[in-house]
Amino acid sequence: MAIHENLLGGPPPTHLPDDPEPRELLAAGTAPAEVAAKYPASSLVWAQLADDAFAEGRSIDSYAFARTGYHRGLDALRRSGWRGHGPIPFEHEPNRGFLRALHALARAAAAIGEQEEYERCTQFLRDSSPTAADTLS
pLDDT for the residue 2: 40
Q: pTM for the whole thing?
A: 0.92
Asked whether residue 111 is assigned to any structural domain, the reply reads yes
Type of residue found at 75: D
Examine residue 45 and state whether it is found in any structural domain, yes or no: yes
Q: What is the pLDDT of residue 119?
A: 98
Q: How far is it, in rounded angstroms, from Cα 84 to Cα 54?
A: 28
Taking a C-beta distance cutoff of 8 angstroms, is the pair 27, 44 a contact? Answer: no
Give the domain extent around 69.
Answer: 31-136
The closest alpha carbon to 103, from 48, 60, 58, belongs to: 48
Residue 130 counted as domain residue: yes
Q: How many domains does the chain have?
A: 1
What three-state secondary structure class fits 117?
Answer: helix
Residue 5 lies in a domain: no
- Residue 4 located in a structural domain: no
In this prediction, residue 10 carries a pLDDT of: 86
CA–CA separation, 53 vs 14, rounded Å?
29
What is the spatial distance between Cα 23 and Cα 114, in angstroms, rounded to a whole number?
A: 30
Give the pLDDT confidence score for residue 8 in this predicted structure.
62
Which secondary-structure segment (H or E) carries 135? helix 130-136
In a domain, 9, yes or no: no
**Does residue 65 lie within any of the structural domains?**
yes
pLDDT of residue 120: 98
Helix axes 43-55, 59-79, angle to 10 degrees: 160
* Tens digit of each residue's pLDDT, the chain (137 residues): 344 445 567 899 999 999 999 999 999 999 999 999 999 999 999 999 999 999 999 999 999 999 999 999 999 999 999 999 999 999 999 999 999 999 999 999 999 999 999 999 999 999 999 999 999 98
| DSSP tag of 6 | -
Q: Flag whether 14 is in a domain.
A: no
pLDDT of 75: 97
